[in-house]
Amino acid sequence: MPRTSDGRERLIEAGVELFSQRPYGSIGVAELCARAGVNKGSFYYFFPSKEALALAVIDRHWAWQQGVWAEILNGPGTILERLRALFAATAQMQIDARTGTGWVAGCLFGNLALEVSSQNEPVRMRLQEIFDEQIELIRAPLAAAVESGELQRPAEDVDGAAKAIVAQVEGLVLFAKLFNDPAHLDSLWQNSLRLLGLEPVNAAGMANAAAMAKE
């Protein structure tokens, strides 16, 4: 039996694992406790409900994912290079999941949004906040690239482009999960170039795309 002090962490880790693999409604407190190695009484000591645990799981997963996105999008390179690195990291996560479990995991946030958001207002509101934060993580470097002249795009289009890119990531991750095939994410790059008003290029043409963005 784990120490009481790490029971909360074990429950969150169990929630991340189980909610990523199966529908939220199919997972009960007893299974979460069994996976975490804590008794049911300990669960209710740490969390008043499964919903409370789900919110903690969402926050934990976002803290990790936000760090990955921010490191890439605020890192070195042109905006196109950073966007492409983000898409590559997104695809690699799904490839790794299928390699480890045999199945594409999809997006925890997208999975919960589809299943729970119409029935659970606190979860819906938290997921909405996270998607807004994702959009802002992409919008800010896009706006900076427009302001610097790196991208030739009207400033009023940046918000829409950022929202469309996030929606595209979510949609193609959903397709990858549905078909159990990470290759559905291959079109992220080409589609995003179109959203930014650039001509689609092949993998070898990224440097040319970056040059086009500066013209």
pLDDT, one tens digit per residue, over 74-83 is 999 999 999 9
Please indicate, yes or no, whether residues 208 and 122 belong to a single structural domain of this protein. Answer: yes
Domain boundary among 48, 68, 87: 48
Please indicate, yes or no, whether residues 59 and 12 belong to a single structural domain of this protein. Answer: no
Alpha helices in 22-120 (DSSP H): 29-36, 40-46, 50-73, 79-101, 108-116
pTM of the model: 0.86
Please indicate, yes or no, whether residues 83 and 182 belong to a single structural domain of this protein. Answer: yes
What residue numbers bound the domain in which 80 lies? Answer: 55-214
How many angstroms separate the CA atoms of 64 and 71, rounded? 11
Q: How confident is the model at residue 118 (pLDDT cuts 50, 70, 90)?
A: confident
Please indicate, yes or no, whether residues 59 and 143 belong to a single structural domain of this protein. Answer: yes
How many angstroms separate the CA atoms of 34 and 177, rounded? 26
Q: How confident is the model at residue 96 (pLDDT cuts 50, 70, 90)?
A: very high
Please indicate, yes or no, whether residues 29 and 93 belong to a single structural domain of this protein. Answer: no
Assess contact for 35 and 17: CB atoms under 8 A: yes
How many angstroms separate the CA atoms of 180 and 178, rounded? 6
Please indicate, yes or no, whether residues 76 and 34 belong to a single structural domain of this protein. Answer: no
DSSP 102: S
Please indicate, yes or no, whether residues 10 and 108 belong to a single structural domain of this protein. Answer: no
Element (H or E) spanning 175, and its range?
Answer: helix 158-179
Indicate the number of domains in the chain: 2
| Tens of pLDDT, residues 18-41 | 998 888 999 999 999 999 999 988
Please indicate, yes or no, whether residues 31 and 115 belong to a single structural domain of this protein. Answer: no
- The amino acid present at 27, given as its one-letter code, is I
Please indicate, yes or no, whether residues 103 and 60 belong to a single structural domain of this protein. Answer: yes
CATH code at position 22: 1.10.10.60
Please indicate, yes or no, whether residues 93 and 124 belong to a single structural domain of this protein. Answer: yes
Please indicate, yes or no, whether residues 26 and 64 belong to a single structural domain of this protein. Answer: no
Query: Residue 22's pLDDT is what?
Result: 87
Tell me, rounded to whole angstroms, the distance of Cα 187 from its chain centroid.
17
- Radius of gyration of the chain from Cα atoms? 19
Please indicate, yes or no, whether residues 133 and 197 belong to a single structural domain of this protein. Answer: yes
CATH code at position 190: 1.10.357.10
